[in-house]
Structure 1
Amino acid sequence: VTVDIKRVAETVSDELAKASGYKLDQTAPIATVPDLEHYDAVIVGAGTRYGTAAAQMRNFWDQTGGSWVKGQLVGKVGSAFTSTATQHGGQETTLIGLIQTLLHHGMLIAGLPYAWQGQQRIDEITGGSPYGATTITGGDGSRQPSENELEGARFQGRYVAETARKLHP
């Protein structure tokens, strides 16, 4: 399995990004819409802002109309993950919104099935749902994903890769 990690372009000025504490030292290359047609699977990750995916990710997908018209993503595997600042900050609404976009493109959705038992834990704050892996960062962004949340993300990644391999041998 080959994996490319990319990011979407920033949509705010450098000045505002710095003032708002954005992570600006990203090494991942910026994704382009034509990149998508070359993959058997796409896992979309976006932070949650006010109950929906961050504008930067929405902006990227809003540019995929040409791919949609040509059906370039039909039959590919799609999946999503997110983070929120608070426990009830819109994780599932963000994931569903991203998944809706992937479905409009004709992608086959692979979430985070309950075969991964970690999302049923109640002994610690744990993100994750059948829609995809999640984490809770805290209002100041200081909380890092727990080992349990990371295992959920790894499970989801393996599940997506295995599904894509079966569909696209």
Structure 2
Amino acid sequence: LTYKNLITIDGKEWLVLNSVKTGVKLNIPLYLLFNGKALGIMRKYDSIEQLAALGCNSDTNRTLQKLGRMAHIGKKFTYHTSRHTCATLLVHQGVPITTVQKLLGHTSVKTTEIYSEVFDETVIKDLTRANQIYSKRRNVKQNQIKPQKSPEKYLRQ
């Protein structure tokens, strides 16, 4: 990553890059990702290059531990577990699996589905949301104004 990967659009910061592994183009609105927490962590570094200079897997995991402490996360985690947790949290919060797929840079949604555990609470939340949408649509249809009679009738008088 370099500063060239950070783009400001309408005053909002985005991360734009091509995945090295898959070649998938990623456009990530950093200001929206977990309420801007990613931006908060990035700003603690002198540059994006300093943050991105992770090194080998063990170095990366040590850096993640440091980032975890900065984010007040006391649990030990690795690159893989943090990626899995991120994907799971997004799915659990109602982000469509195809959006999570795009954020992770996967070329197939089947790969992303490995990261998405469906919790009972998610099923309840999704069905509740579907019922609310159905009820709103039904109420709108019932409350629609009936069409008026043609104004031509009044013009003839």
Q: TM-score range by the shorter chain?
A: under 0.3
TM-score by length of 2: 0.25
Higher helix share: 2
TM-score by length of 1: 0.24
Which structure has the greater CA radius of gyration? 2
Higher strand share: 1
